[in-house]
Amino acid sequence: MSDYRNYPEDWIHEKNAPTSMADELEPLCISVGLYVKPSARMTVTVCLPPLKQPGQSISNWDLMEKIKKAVSPIELSSIRVITSTIELVRFEAELPSRKILAKVIKALDGYTLKVMGFFEPLKVRAAEAKSDFPTRHDWDEFFRNSNNMNELEPGERPDTIYLAKMPSNWFKECGSTDDSMPSEHVLQNVFERFGTVRCVDIPVCDPYRRKMSAQISGIRTTGFSFGQEILFEGYVQFVEYISFVRAMDFLRNKKLVKKMPDDRIFEAAIKVDFDKNKHLSDKNIQKRCVERERLKELEKQKISEECQKCEKEEGNTGKEYVDRRSQSEEKHRRKRNQEKRLKKERLLNEMIAEEERKLLIAQRKLESRRLLSVLFWRIEAKLRKKDSRMKISSRDLEEDLQSELETKLRQALLREQEQRLRKRIEAKMILGKLHTTKSGNRKD
C-alpha cells in the first residue's frame, strides 16, 4: 500500500498545516453574521475485482475507513456511498477547504487499497464532483421552451430564486423567541445586496399555506414535522434580471455559513435553484390571496356553526339543566342528612365504647386487687410453712449433734480401755518370761 511519505513535500506540508475557514468566507450579510464559502466535493471510485469465491463480500464501511486513513491527517467533513455495484463502489466526500481539493484528488487518484480477502490491490479513482447548480444556459433554455411563460410578467421569467434547507434560526428577527418563525423582512434585507427585491415569500410563515393546493402553495419539501420547523424554504424575486444573475453566481456551489458572536462557525448545505412554477407571478399571488380568504371564511363558518350548535344544545337542554340542578340539590340534601345521621350514630357508638372501656378498666382493677390479695395470702402461707420446717430441722440437728458427740465419747473410752488391757497383757507376758528364766537358772 502506498504511504503519504512518498508524496511530494508540498502535499505533506499542506496535509500537516491547519486550514483556516475564515480565509474562504465571503460576506453575504455581515449585520446578521451570514457568509458563504465554496464547497469542496469530490467523488472517489473504488474498482472491485471479480468475486471468485461464493459468499465473498467487501464492506463499504471498511473502504471508507481506508480512504479516511489515506488522507490523514486531513479529516473529511463527510463521506457517503452514492453507488454500490459488483464492479465498483462510488463515494462522495467533502473536504473542509477547497484549497486542498486539487491536491487531495491528485493524491487519491491512482491510489491502491489493500483489502483482506483480495490478493490484488483495489484501484482508486478520484475526481471533483459534478455540480448540479443550474447555469445561465439552463434557465434561458427553460423559459425559452416553456409555452405558458410570458417574459414581460414578473415570476414568468428568470427573476425568482428558490431556496431550500435554510436554517430557521439564522433568519429570525433580533430579540425574537425560540418558537418564532423566520422573518421575510430579514430574508429580504439579506438579498438586497444583489439588487432591488420585488417580493419575498416564506410558505411556512403562512398558517393557511399547507391547506392550499401544491400548485400555488410553494411547498416543495414534504415530510414529518415535529413542532417548530428547523429548516425552511423561501422565494426571493428581483426587479431586474441582472440582480437575479448576481445572486445565482454568488451562491453557485457555495455553502451558507453563520458566524456567531463568540466566533463559532456553523455551516449549512442549502439548495439553490431558479423558480420553475411561477410562484411569485401576479396570478399565483392573487390565487393565494383568494384561497386564503376562502379558507378564512371557512374557518369563520366552522367557528360560527360550532357556536350555534353549542347555543342550540344549551337552549334544548335548559329544562334538563334545571331538572338536573334540582335533582342534584335533592341528592346533596339527602347526602347531608345521611351524613348528619351517621355522625350522630358515630358519636353514640363512641360514647358507648367509652363507657364499656371504663367498665372494663374498673373490672380489671378489681380483678387485679383480688389477685394480689390471693397472691399475698399464698406467699404468707408459704413463709409460715417454711418457718415451721426450719424449727423442726433445728431440733433434729441438735439431737444428731448430741448423739454424734456421745458416739465419739463412747469410742474414745473404748479405745482407752483397749489400750489399758493391752498394757496389762504385755506386762503379764513380761512377768511370765521373767519367772521362767529364774526357774531355769535355779535348776542349773
Any bridge partners for residue 84, and if so which?
89
Residue 16's pLDDT is: 35
Those residues with Cβ within 8 angstroms of residue 194's Cβ, 6 or more apart along the chain or in another chain: 238, 243, 244, 246, 247, 250
265-268 vs 160-167, strand pairing mode: unpaired
**Sheet strand arrangement including 231-238:** 197-201, 231-238, 160-167, 271-274
Nine-digit cell string for 101: 481539493
Strands (E), 171-248: 197-201, 231-238
Residue 400's pLDDT is: 75
What gap in Å lies between CA 229 and CA 166, rounded to an integer?
Answer: 10
Nine-digit cell string for 25: 468566507
What gap in Å lies between CA 264 and CA 266, rounded to an integer?
Answer: 7
Residue 319's pLDDT is: 67
265-268 vs 254-259, strand pairing mode: antiparallel
What gap in Å lies between CA 61 and CA 70, rounded to an integer?
Answer: 14
pLDDT in tens, the chain (444 residues): 333 333 333 333 333 333 456 678 999 999 999 999 999 999 999 998 877 677 677 888 989 999 998 888 888 888 999 999 888 999 999 998 888 898 899 888 888 888 887 778 889 999 999 988 999 999 999 999 988 888 889 999 999 999 999 999 999 988 777 677 899 999 999 999 999 999 999 999 999 998 998 888 888 877 555 445 789 999 999 999 999 999 999 999 999 999 988 888 899 999 999 999 999 999 999 999 999 999 999 999 999 888 888 777 776 666 677 777 788 888 888 888 898 888 888 888 888 888 888 888 888 888 888 888 888 888 888 888 887 777 666 667 777 777 778 888 888 888 888 888 888 888 778 877 777 776 666 655
Judge contact between 56 and 117, C-beta under 8 A. yes
Q: DSSP letter for 181, please.
A: P
CB atoms under 10 Å from CB of 271, counted, come to 15
Strands (E), 152-293: 160-167, 197-201, 231-238, 254-259, 265-268, 271-274
Judge contact between 122 and 145, C-beta under 8 A. no
264: Cα within 13 Å, side-chain hemisphere = 3
What gap in Å lies between CA 190 and CA 184, rounded to an integer?
Answer: 10
What gap in Å lies between CA 76 and CA 93, rounded to an integer?
Answer: 7
Q: Is 154 helix (H, G, I), strand (E, B) or coil?
A: coil
What gap in Å lies between CA 247 and CA 273, rounded to an integer?
Answer: 11
Residue 365's pLDDT is: 86
Those residues with Cβ within 8 angstroms of residue 76's Cβ, 6 or more apart along the chain or in another chain: 67, 68, 93, 94, 95
Quickly list DSSP for 2-62: --GGGS-HHHHHHHHSPPPGGGG-EEEEGGGTEEEEE--EEEEEEEPPPP-STT----HHH
Q: DSSP letter for 116, please.
A: T
Cα 93 to Cα 106, 125, 256: the distances in Å are 14, 13, 18
